[in-house]
Structure 1
Amino acid sequence: MLTTDFVAGSPCWLDLGSPNVEGAVDFYSDVFGWDHQSAGPEAGGYGVFRKDGRDVAALGPLTEEGASSAWTVYFRTLDADATAKAAEQGGATVRVAPFDVTDAGRMACLTDPCGAEFAVWQPGTVKGLQTVTEPGSLCWTELHTSDPTAAKAFYRGIFGWRSEDVKVPGMTYTVLSTAAGEDQQRASFGGVVPFREPADKPHWLPYFEVPDVDQVVALTEGNGGSVIMPAADAPDIGRMAWLADPYGAAFAVIKSVTPPAEPAPSAG
């Protein structure tokens, strides 16, 4: 599961590139109850979404020519330069070479060999998101790709991720875990999904935990967003939906199944 004990290879940051920053602020504020705080005029329109006073995501204007609105998942690395080099050697494209973000950290923007965009973050003063897994925050990340086998090999090569294939109706779902952690299930943070349709595009899809999926679906549609996959129940996992904001950025929401409480120790 995701925690803020960010180990190497774990999702640690998330931001949205949007053609309409003000419109995106309004949308996500209404849908998730997020507040928005600008990083200041020197940040070029970049700012942070906060929930209960803690950083849960970020937002900025689109800066790459021809880019579409999308969420970008950042994965923690101890050395952004080394990871970017390893990714390039593994067939990835380095869209933005490693650079320092003041003293906050060092980052690079990459595209994996199958076409999914992601970023890496070498922390400085900013370690990562301040809240995950709680309602209104990131709880899972999912890679949608045309070639799950090649994708698993690529990311294993740069992050050492472990994987476990699980049979679900109609496909094989791969659960991803960081290299660190004795319990592979507890170290899991995301999955790999093969394309459902030939027209699908490779991307990383962030999941946000919510208390009521159907309410979020209604708020999304009421605020100009759209439904990609209607709300549905997944046994032993939770109720989920795939959505898009008014500018086309895809995201998912889930109300996770609460694991059963462990029995209290016997007083005898």
Structure 2
Amino acid sequence: MPARGDLPDGAPIWIDLGTDDVDAAIPFYTKLFGWEHVGFGEEFGGYGQFLHRGEPVAGVGPSMRPGGPSEWSVYLATADLDAVSGQVTEHDGTLLIGPDDAAGQGRFLVADDPVGGSVAFWEPHGHDGFARVMEPGAPCWFELWTTDFDAATAFYRDAVGWRITLVPSDGSMRYATNDTQEAATAGVYDAAGEERTDRSSWLVYLGVADVDAAAARAAELGGTVLGEPTDSAFGRLVDVRDPVGAVLRLITA
């Protein structure tokens, strides 16, 4: 379905994959999701976009932390990037890149939250973010895995304006969304103690028509399927590590 064009401040508006091996990442994603890749040339530092049905759904480019792990980043919408910059530093976040301009497309900022999780912000001026959501080949959900749940939720509440809403559970996990259930666009998961998590990071959910078939295809393309596909209240899902080491989650859409 088409993405909303009136996203509120703090809602995910764009995702991109940062990696030191862009050439290895591109064929994995184009073959797995049927995406088309469009490169923007050296003037954009090797950055490019993935298109789904001819419309942008994600970016890909060299890692913003050269030598660091390949990972998916999530950009949150803002109408005032300079104000966000001040809020981030006021609430113990660390500015890494920007605020800066992106060649007439918008303005962006990359920061670390107080737990060390990276988060980016996008002020659109021509590029309105991903054009499609909640369908095969498009983003479906965005989840911060944090090693300090209390510190992370406080930061996103105070610096970003999220209306943190705790999700009821039996005590086996802690999870929150950035708004009430009907309005939520992202989640926060308490990943402290998770075997594969030694730092806070984002997990991007990408839609597929058949999770089991997509997982098998990901393995054929050089990815690693992390566990078995499982059913959830929101659809069947499984995690995959791509050939350059970034983790994503496939979900039935």
TM-score category, normalised to shorter length: over 0.9
The aligned counterpart of 2:176 is 174
Unaligned runs of 5+ in 1: 178-183, 257-268
Tell me which amino acid in the other structure corresponds to 1:51: H
In the TM superposition, 1:135-214 aligns within 5 A as 135-168=136-169, 170-177=172-179, 184-195=180-191, 196-197=193-194, 200=197, 201-214=199-212
Residues in 2 aligned to 1:108 and 1:223: alpha-carbon distance in whole angstroms = 33
Question: Aligned residue pairs: how many?
Answer: 249
Instruction: Identify, as 1 or 2, the structure richer in strand.
Output: 1
Residues in 2 aligned to 1:171 and 1:24: alpha-carbon distance in whole angstroms = 32
Instruction: Give me the TM-score of the superposition, normalised by structure 2.
Output: 0.92
The aligned counterpart of 2:66 is 65
Residues in 2 aligned to 1:30 and 1:228: alpha-carbon distance in whole angstroms = 19
Unaligned runs of 5+ in 2: none
Distance 1:198 1:242, change over 3 A: closer
- Preserved contact between residue 4 and residue 12 of structure 1 (Cα < 8 Å): no
Residues in 1 aligned to 2:79 and 2:188: alpha-carbon distance in whole angstroms = 24
In the TM superposition, 1:1-268 aligns within 5 A as 3-5=3-5, 6-168=7-169, 170-177=172-179, 184-195=180-191, 196-197=193-194, 200=197, 201-234=199-232, 236-256=233-253
Residues in 1 aligned to 2:229 and 2:186: alpha-carbon distance in whole angstroms = 19
Cα drift, residue 217 of structure 1 = 1.0
Cα drift, residue 199 of structure 1 = 5.7
Tell me which amino acid in the other structure corresponds to 1:4: R
Residues in 1 aligned to 2:73 and 2:212: alpha-carbon distance in whole angstroms = 25
Q: Look up the SS of the partner of 1:86 in the other structure.
A: helix
Q: Look up the SS of the partner of 2:4 in the other structure.
A: coil
1:228-260: CA deviation from partner (whole Å, max 9, x where unpaired): 3431111x321111111111111111115xxxx
Bigger radius of gyration, 1 or 2? 1
Distance 1:35 1:247, change over 3 A: same
Cα drift, residue 186 of structure 1 = 2.8
Cα drift, residue 198 of structure 1 = 5.8
- Preserved contact between residue 4 and residue 128 of structure 1 (Cα < 8 Å): no
Sequence identity percentage: 38
Instruction: Give me the TM-score of the superposition, normalised by structure 1.
Output: 0.87
Deviates more, 1:140-149 or 1:63-72: 63-72
* Cα root mean square deviation, aligned: 1.8
Distance 1:111 1:229, change over 3 A: farther
Residues in 2 aligned to 1:62 and 1:10: alpha-carbon distance in whole angstroms = 23
1:88-109: CA deviation from partner (whole Å, max 9, x where unpaired): 1111111112111111111111
- Preserved contact between residue 92 and residue 110 of structure 1 (Cα < 8 Å): yes
Deviates more, 1:243-252 or 1:155-164: 155-164
Cα drift, residue 193 of structure 1 = 1.1
Cα drift, residue 128 of structure 1 = 1.1
